[in-house]
Chain A
Amino acid sequence: MRRFLPLFLVPLSLTLAADKKEQPLTPGGIYRAHDQQRPRPPVITPPGWSTQEKAGTAPSDAIVLFDGKDLSQWKREARKHSPPGDDKPQWKVADGYMEIVGKSGGIRTRKTFKGDYQLHIEWCTPATVSGNGQGRGNSGVFIAGFPEIQVLDSYQNDTYPDGQAGGLYSNYPPMVNASRKPGEWQSYDIFFERPKNGSKSKLTVIHNGVVVQYQREFESSLQEGDLSLQDHLNPVRYRNIWLRPLRVDSDKVGTPAAAAKPVKAATPAKAQPTATIHIKTMTAQMKYDQNEFTVRPGQPVKILFENGDDLPHNIVFCEPGTDTAAMSMKQMENAEAALKRNWVPDDKRIWLHSKMLNPHQSETLTFTAPEKPGDYPFVCTFPGHALTMNGRLKVLPMGEGLQDLKFALYLGNWQKLPDFAKLKPHREGVIEDNRVQIKLDDYKNEFGVVFTGKLNAPRKGSYRFYIAGDDGVRLLIDGKKVVEYDGIHPAGDIKEGSTQLEAGPHEFRMEYFQGGGDIAIFAAWKGSNFDITPLSTWMPKGWEKGPKAKQQKEFEPIPLVVKDEPVLYRNFIAGAGNRGIAVGYPGGINITWSAESMNLALVWRGAFMDASRHWNSRGGGHQPPLGYDVFQPTGEVTPALHITEQPASEWPVWDSKSGVRYPGFTWKGYTLDGKRSPTFRYAWQGADIEESFTASGNGNLPEGKATLTRTIKIQGSLPAHAWYRIAKAEKIEAQNGSFLCKSGPIAFRIQAEGAQIAGTQLVIPAKPGTLTLTYQWAQ
C-alpha cells in the first residue's frame, strides 16, 4: 500500500462530504453522464459553405480529392474509343471545377479508401439542355461494391426512376427528386458503411441536403475501394470533392480530460494534494504489483498504470461490492461483443478504466476519488485474468480529532508511569489546538503529563488506538486502559490496542512520563469508517501503517518462465495430488501429470507456475497453476485406466488422506526427447504404457487456438472391460466429430476417434496400440 505524504489535520471529508447524486452510465458503460473526465471530441474546422458561384472548403479532417485546382488524385480510365495517352485524366480543369471531356474516359482515384466514410461531391449538368432522358447531363459516381450513384439532369426530365439523379442505378430510385435546374451546382453527401460481421454494406445518399437513399444494403464484402466518376460523354462538371471518416469515436481519439482544461470551478477551500499511485502488472504472474491503496474522498488521484507483462492487461475500477470475477466472467457469454468492447464489461458498476494495454505499454489515469468512502474493487477484465488480477482502492476519510484537550504537568523522577491520581499537578492548562503535545520549555527531564479531553465516536463499534512515546505512555478511554507502553524507551515502536465504543463523546486520557533525553509522544485512532488519524502533533515515521506491518508477508513471486523448451516442476501442485509433475510447454500451454494416478491431472494455458510458495520459507502447501482456464480432465487424481462393465459410473475416486495408491499401476518415470519434452511411462495390469504431449497454438491469448495433443501407446495385453477415460465433465456432447466437455465455466473440445460418451464420462475401450487425443479450449 502506498501512503500519502500530505497530512491534513482537519478532516477533509467535512468539506467535501456532500454526496453528489450519482449519474447513470452512458452507453458503452464507460462514462457516466456529464462525466468531466470524458475525453474531449477533437476540434475540427467545419466545411465552408458552397454557393452557386464558389465552391466551399473541405472540413479540416477530410481528405481532399478535388479542390478545384488539379486532378492529381485521379487517373484516367480509358474507354474503348478513348484517345491514346498516359493515365492522366484528360478532363478539363477551370475556374475551380473539372469538366468531363467526352470519350477521354472516366476518372478513378489513385488511392483506395476504407469505410466507413462520408463523401462530399458537387456537380453541375450543362446549363444548355440538350438531349432527353438518359442523354441529358449523364455521369455517375461509383463506389466500389455498389451500383452507380446516378448523376443526371433530372430537372423536369423523365426517365426510368432507378436511373434518375440520386438513384442507385438499376436498383433503387431516389426517395424524392430533389434536383436543381440544369446549370446549377448540386451536392451529394454519400455515406458508405462497409460490411461488418453479420451485416451488409450500406449506402446513404443525401442530395442537396435531402436524404434520397437511406442505408440501402448490398451484398458486398469490400471493406475499402476506390471511387470513380463516369464519362458518359456529357460535359458534366464536378467540384469540391472530399472524404472523411464517418465514425469518429471521440472517447478514443479525443483529448484526455486533464488536458481539456474544463472551465475552472471555484477552488475548494482546501485543495487536496494529488495522490500519485504507481501500479504495474508483473511479468508472467497474473498479478498487479500491489492490490490495495488508500485515497481520501474527493482527492485528486493520478494512477500511473504500467503493463510490465507479456500479455494485454487493463485496470477497471468498480463500485463497492462488485463481484469483479463474476463480472469479468459474464462478458464471456457474448465473447464477440466483449471483444468489440476491448474486454471492458458492459457493466454500470464500472466507473473508471484504462485502455487494454498491450505488453509494456503505460497509461496515466487521472480522476477524482469517489466522495463515498468504501472499498472500490479493481480488476483486469481480460479473459481469465480476474481471479488473480484484482485489488481494491480504499476510499477512507480521516477521523475526528480531540476536543477540550487539557494537560496537567507533574514533576518527578520515575522509571515507570506513576499513579498520577495520587500526585498533585505542578501546573495545569488548556491545549488550544487540541492535539497532544509536549510544549514545556522549562522542563526537559523528570516530569510527567496527563492529557484529558473528549473524543467523539461517530458510531458504535470497535476502535483501534495507537501510541508511542519517549518514555512511558498509556492511553485510557472512559477510564479504561486501552494500550500502554510503559518504562524508559525510545519512541520508535508503536503499540496498539482496541476497544468497543458507543456512538458519542468519550473521555480521553493519556499519561506520559519523561525520564531523560529525548521527548516524544504520539497518539492516533482508527475506526471502521475512517483511516488512522493522528491525535498528536508529532508522528513517528511510518505511523500510517500502525505498528510494524504485520508479518503477513507475501513472498515475492518466483515465476517459472517457459522459454524455448519445456520446463518441468515436481512439487505439491493444487489439483494434482502430492506427486504432481508440472510441464510448461513453450507457447503458454501447461499440464500437470500425476505420478499418483498415472494420468493427466491438469491442463491450463497462460503462465506456468509460481515457485515462491515452495521456494520460500519451508515450502509448505499446494500451489495452483499461475495461468488460467485450468481444466481437470478426469477430476482430482483419478486414473485414466480402469476395468469396469459400467464405464458410465464406476470410476475410482481419490482418497487424499490414506496415501494408498491405485492398485495395478506402477510408475516408471519419464524420458525427455530431443526437445526436452517428457514421455511419461507406467505399467498397468501387465501392459506398458507411454504418454506424451505436444502443444501447439498460443495459450497466452484466448483466441490463440491453443491445442494439446496427447499420444498414448499401450504395449502388451489388457484384460477384458478395460477402459480409458479421456474426460469427465458436467456435460459432454458430440459435435462435428469432436466432443464438447463443459464443467462450470470451462469448456473443452476434445477429439478422440472411437471415443464414446458414457454419462458424464468420455471413454474409449483400452486396447494395445496408439491413441491420439487433442484438447482445445472451447471458449
Chain B
Amino acid sequence: MTRFSLVALLTVSSPWLWAADPVEADFYKITTFETPKETALEVGSMDLLPEGRLVMGTRRGEVWIVSGAASSDPSQVRYQLFASGLHEVLGIAYNPKDKAIYATTRYEITRLKDLDGDGRADAFENVSDEWGVSGDYHEYALGSRFDRQGDLWVTLCLTGSFSSQVPFRGWAVRVKPDGTMVPTCSGIRSPGGMGFDAEGEVYYVDNQGPWHGSCTLQHLVPGSFQGHPGGNIWYDKAPNMGPRPIDPIPEAFKGNLKRGESNPNGDPGRIVTERKRIKELLPPAIYMVHGKIGNSSTFILCDETQGKFGPFEKQLFIADQSHSNISRVFLETINGIKQGVVIPFRSGFASGLIGGRMDEEGRLFAGGSDRGWGARGGKPYCFEKLEWTGKLPFEIHEMRAKPDGFEITFTEPVEAKTAGDAASYSMREFTYAYREDYGGDEVQEVLPKITQVQVGADKKSVRLTISPLTQGHVHELHLDGVKNAQNQPLLHSVAYYTLNEIPAR
C-alpha cells in the first residue's frame, strides 16, 4: 500500500488543490427516487403522460404511472400500478389521440385502456403480434415511442442473439396505427433501445457480438441492412423490402480461409469494403466504443428543450446499462450517411440504465436494472432524474468531419495558446473487424499526425488538420492540453468520431 506523508502533501500543495477541477455533478445533478416497496421497479421503458406524469414499463411486466417526479422535492413522487402481468415491457408509448398506453412486450404491442376510469387498465388489446417468438429468453422486443407518422417501431432481438429461428427475429418493424406490421430493416442483432433525433429520424442501439465489434448506434433507414445477416432469411416474407441482399463474408476481416485467403493484416472485408459489395448495408452511425463509452447501450434521447437541459440542444443522449452512464452524441450527415462523435457525459447512476425519457423542461428521467447483466451502479434497480444545474460545463460542443480533418466547437471560449498547440491533442484511429465472430478488438490502428491547429476567431472552435484520415475508422481524439480561460481542462477531454464518409473538398 502506498503511504502518504501529511507533511509531503502540504508542501506540494498547489493552487489546484484549493480550486478542484469541476466534476460532472457540478453541472448535471442526479436525484434518486424511492421506489414502491411492493415491487422491484426494474424500469425497462418510459414515456411522458399529460399533466407532468410519466408512464414506466418494467422488466417484471408492470406498468406504473408516476406523478410528482418533476417536483424539486423527490419525496413528492407517487406511484400507481396501472397494469401488471405483461411479458417484459421494453417499450412504452402514450398516444394522445386515443389517450391509450401502448406497451411493447415480448410478443405483442398491447394497447392498454382504463375504461372504467379507476386508474387501472382493464382493456388489453392486441395491436400487433405478427412477429415470432420461440421461447428463447433472448428474443427481446424493444419498442419505440410514436414516430411522426404515428407508427411504433419495434426492434426484435435474434434468437439467443445469434440466429433467427422464427419470423422477423433480427428485424426492425413498424406498426401502423391500424396494426399493420411493416418489416423495415433486417440486420438487427441484439437491440438495447430505440429513439429519434430532432428531425424524427429513427435510431436503435445494438450490442457487441457477432458482426459487432462494439455496441453501435444505428440509423434505421427503411430498406437498409443493419449488418447482422441472421434475419435475412425472412426477406421472402417481406415483399416490400425487395430482394434479399447478399450476405457479408463471415471471415471478412481475416480473409476467407475457405478460399485460401489468409490476410490477417489486410482488410478485404472491413465494413467499408463490404459496403461496396452489399449496397443495402448501412454502417453504424456511431461506434459506442466498447469498454470506453460503455458495454451495453440502451435508451436514446434527444434534447429538444431549447436549452433547458444545457448547451447540447438537438444532440442525442445514449445510456449504457453496464456502465450505468449516459454518453452524448452529435451526428451529421455526410454523403447521405449518418456519422458523428460520442463523448462521455454523465456517469454514476445507481443501476444499469435501460429506460429513459426527457420532459420539455429538460428533466431526464432514467431507470433500469442490473439483472442478468451486471452494472456498475451497484443497485439492483433504480429510478432517477438528471437535471442541468444551470452551470455551463467546459465541453466539446460539436465535432464535424472535414475533408482533411475535424472542426471542434466548445461550449465556452478556449485559452488560445493551449488550444492552438498541436501538442495539446493526440489522435488514434482504429476500427473493428466486421465479421461473424463475437466482438473483437480495436484493430488496424493508425496514429495520424496533427499537422495543423487553428483556433477560431471567437475562440470557441478549433480546426484540426489530420493526416491521414481513414474511412470507416473511429477517430479517437484526446484534448488533454486544451484549457478554458480559467485554465480549466475540458470536463471530458476525449471524443470518438466514427468516420463513415470523408467529406469531399
Q: Which residues of A contact B (CB under 8 A)?
A: 567-572, 577-579, 581-582, 595, 611, 615-622, 656-660, 667-674, 676
A570 to B108, CA, bound (A): 11
- The answer, among A572, A579, A671, for a CB contact under 8 Å with B115, is A671
A767 to B111, CA, bound (A): 30
- The answer, among B59, B106, B126, for a CB contact under 8 Å with A669, is B126
Q: A570-B86, A618-B372 are in contact. Are A578 and B126 (CB under 8 A)?
A: no
Residue B245 is within 8 A (CB to CB) of chain A in the complex:
no
- Find out whether the CB atom of B137 lies under 8 angstroms from the CB atom of A671: no
Interface residues on B, range: 35 or more
- Find out whether the CB atom of A616 lies under 8 angstroms from the CB atom of B371: yes
- Find out whether the CB atom of B135 lies under 8 angstroms from the CB atom of A668: no
Q: How far is the CB of A645 from chain B (nearest CB, A)?
A: 31
Residues of A near B123 (CB, < 8 A) are 669-672
- The answer, among A569, A579, A617, for a CB contact under 8 Å with B85, is A569
- Find out whether the CB atom of B133 lies under 8 angstroms from the CB atom of A578: yes
A774 to B278, CA, bound (A): 60
A417 to B28, CA, bound (A): 55
A669 to B126, CA, bound (A): 5
Residue B360 is within 8 A (CB to CB) of chain A in the complex:
no
Residues of A near B60 (CB, < 8 A) are 611, 615
- The answer, among B84, B136, B166, B372, for a CB contact under 8 Å with A617, is B372
Residue B110 is within 8 A (CB to CB) of chain A in the complex:
yes
- Find out whether the CB atom of B132 lies under 8 angstroms from the CB atom of A659: yes
Q: How far is the CB of B59 from chain A (nearest CB, A)?
A: 8
A620 to B88, CA, bound (A): 12
Q: A611-B60, A658-B166 are in contact. Are A619 and B372 (CB under 8 A)?
A: yes
- Find out whether the CB atom of B372 lies under 8 angstroms from the CB atom of A667: no
- Find out whether the CB atom of B108 lies under 8 angstroms from the CB atom of A572: no
0 or 1 for each of B375-401: is its CB under 8 Å from A? (1 = yes):
000000000000000000000000000
- Find out whether the CB atom of B61 lies under 8 angstroms from the CB atom of A571: yes
- Find out whether the CB atom of B85 lies under 8 angstroms from the CB atom of A570: yes
Q: A579-B107, A611-B60, A617-B372 are in contact. Are A595 and B129 (CB under 8 A)?
A: yes
Residue B95 is within 8 A (CB to CB) of chain A in the complex:
no
Q: How far is the CB of B270 from chain A (nearest CB, A)?
A: 32
Chain A: CB-nearest residue to B88: A619
- Find out whether the CB atom of B371 lies under 8 angstroms from the CB atom of A617: yes
- Find out whether the CB atom of A567 lies under 8 angstroms from the CB atom of B85: yes
Residues of A near B110 (CB, < 8 A) are 669
- The answer, among A615, A618, A669, A674, for a CB contact under 8 Å with B125, is A669
- Find out whether the CB atom of B126 lies under 8 angstroms from the CB atom of A659: no
Q: How far is the CB of B404 from chain A (nearest CB, A)?
A: 47
Q: How far is the CB of A580 from chain B (nearest CB, A)?
A: 9
Residue B105 is within 8 A (CB to CB) of chain A in the complex:
yes
Q: What are 15 of the A-B contact pairs (CB < 8 Å)? A: A568-B84, A568-B85, A571-B88, A579-B108, A582-B85, A595-B129, A615-B371, A619-B137, A619-B371, A619-B372, A659-B133, A659-B134, A669-B110, A670-B124, A673-B122
Q: A579-B133, A618-B372, A659-B133 are in contact. Are A671 and B166 (CB under 8 A)?
A: no
A779 to B200, CA, bound (A): 62
Q: How far is the CB of B186 from chain A (nearest CB, A)?
A: 17
- The answer, among A570, A620, A672, for a CB contact under 8 Å with B137, is A620
Q: A578-B107, A611-B60 are in contact. Are A620 and B87 (CB under 8 A)?
A: no
Residues of B near A670 (CB, < 8 A) are 123-124
Residue B167 is within 8 A (CB to CB) of chain A in the complex:
yes
Chain A: CB-nearest residue to B139: A578
Residues of A near B81 (CB, < 8 A) are none
- Find out whether the CB atom of B167 lies under 8 angstroms from the CB atom of A659: yes
Can you name 15 extra interface pairs (CB under 8 A) apart from A571-B87, A616-B371, A674-B116?
A568-B85, A570-B61, A570-B87, A577-B135, A578-B134, A579-B108, A595-B108, A618-B371, A621-B137, A667-B126, A669-B124, A669-B126, A670-B124, A671-B123, A671-B124
- Find out whether the CB atom of A668 lies under 8 angstroms from the CB atom of B372: no
A613 to B106, CA, bound (A): 16
- Find out whether the CB atom of A656 lies under 8 angstroms from the CB atom of B135: yes
Residues of B near A671 (CB, < 8 A) are 115, 122-124
Residues of B near A567 (CB, < 8 A) are 84-85
Chain A: CB-nearest residue to B112: A669
- Find out whether the CB atom of B137 lies under 8 angstroms from the CB atom of A668: no
Secondary structure of the A side of the interface?
A: loop
State which residues 166-192 of B face A: CB under 8 Å. 166-167
Q: How far is the CB of B143 from chain A (nearest CB, A)?
A: 15
A611 to B165, CA, bound (A): 26
Greatest chain A CB density within 10 A among B106, B125, B137 is at B137
Closest 3 A/B residue pairs (Cβ): A659-B166, A620-B137, A568-B85
Chain B: CB-nearest residue to A622: B135
A553 to B358, CA, bound (A): 39
- Find out whether the CB atom of B125 lies under 8 angstroms from the CB atom of A668: yes
Secondary structure of the B side of the interface?
A: loop
- The answer, among B61, B132, B135, for a CB contact under 8 Å with A572, is B135
Greatest chain B CB density within 10 A among A571, A622, A674 is at A571
Q: A572-B135, A669-B110, A671-B122 are in contact. Are A659 and B165 (CB under 8 A)?
A: yes
Greatest chain B CB density within 10 A among A571, A611, A659 is at A659
Residues of B near A611 (CB, < 8 A) are 60
Residues of B near A659 (CB, < 8 A) are 132-134, 165-167
Greatest chain B CB density within 10 A among A578, A579, A674, A676 is at A578
Residues of B near A658 (CB, < 8 A) are 166
Residues of A near B108 (CB, < 8 A) are 579, 595, 667
Residues of B near A676 (CB, < 8 A) are 122
A672 to B111, CA, bound (A): 13
Chain B: CB-nearest residue to A613: B137
Q: How far is the CB of B109 from chain A (nearest CB, A)?
A: 11
State which residues 50-105 of B face A: CB under 8 Å. 59-61, 84-88, 105
Residue B221 is within 8 A (CB to CB) of chain A in the complex:
no
A618 to B138, CA, bound (A): 8
Q: A568-B84, A616-B371 are in contact. Are A667 and B133 (CB under 8 A)?
A: no
Residues of B near A578 (CB, < 8 A) are 107, 133-135
A671 to B113, CA, bound (A): 9
A659 to B16, CA, bound (A): 64
Q: How far is the CB of B126 from chain A (nearest CB, A)?
A: 4
A711 to B228, CA, bound (A): 47
Residues of A near B138 (CB, < 8 A) are 618, 620
A321 to B145, CA, bound (A): 58
- Find out whether the CB atom of B40 lies under 8 angstroms from the CB atom of A615: yes
Q: How far is the CB of B321 from chain A (nearest CB, A)?
A: 12
Residues of A near B86 (CB, < 8 A) are 570
A622 to B124, CA, bound (A): 23
Residues of A near B59 (CB, < 8 A) are 615, 619
Q: A657-B165, A659-B166, A671-B123 are in contact. Are A570 and B105 (CB under 8 A)?
A: yes
A75 to B198, CA, bound (A): 99
- Find out whether the CB atom of A618 lies under 8 angstroms from the CB atom of B137: yes
Residues of B near A619 (CB, < 8 A) are 59, 88, 137, 371-372
Q: How far is the CB of A725 from chain B (nearest CB, A)?
A: 23
Chain A: CB-nearest residue to B123: A671
A577 to B105, CA, bound (A): 16
Chain B: CB-nearest residue to A682: B126
Residues of A near B40 (CB, < 8 A) are 615
Chain A: CB-nearest residue to B371: A617
0 or 1 for each of B469-492: is its CB under 8 Å from A? (1 = yes):
000000000000000000000000
A579 to B105, CA, bound (A): 11
State which residues 397-438 of B face A: CB under 8 Å. none
Residues of B near A618 (CB, < 8 A) are 137-138, 371-373
A567 to B165, CA, bound (A): 32
A532 to B106, CA, bound (A): 47
Residues of A near B134 (CB, < 8 A) are 578, 656-657, 659
- The answer, among A571, A579, A615, A620, for a CB contact under 8 Å with B136, is A620
Chain A: CB-nearest residue to B116: A674
A671 to B110, CA, bound (A): 12
A3 to B33, CA, bound (A): 42
Residues of B near A673 (CB, < 8 A) are 122
Residues of B near A572 (CB, < 8 A) are 135, 137
